[in-house]
Amino acid sequence: MDIKALSAVQKYAASRPATEPNASQGGAGDAFQSLARDFATTLQESENIAKAAMTGEADPHALVQALAQTELAVETAVTVRDKVVEAYQEILRMPV
């Protein structure tokens, strides 16, 4: 193997970790993942309470509270989605 090729391979291997994402930094991806997990948990809990209310195992107050939490979570998700779409459209309108 040529010395120059070996040197290039070693330099590439040394620079590669700088271009890989760092899992310990925790960025927006982790925040969105956490929000999505919380959203799914809220929906699942509300569904379980609704099922329990239909069988008479949960009181109506708990059902109303669960439905209110679900409504708030869905409205928040829709608002975030609208903002993301709006930002994406704004980026598409930018001149290159």
Out of 13-17, 57-61, 85-89, least confident range: 13-17
pTM metric for this prediction: 0.62
CA atoms within 13 A on the CB side of 59: 3
Phi-psi region of 56 (alpha: psi -120 to 50; beta: other; left: phi over 0): left
Question: What are the extents of the domains in the chain?
Answer: 27-93
Segment 74-92 mean pLDDT: 94
The pLDDT score that the predictor gives to residue 31 is 83
pLDDT band at 91 (very low <50, low <70, confident <90, very high): very high
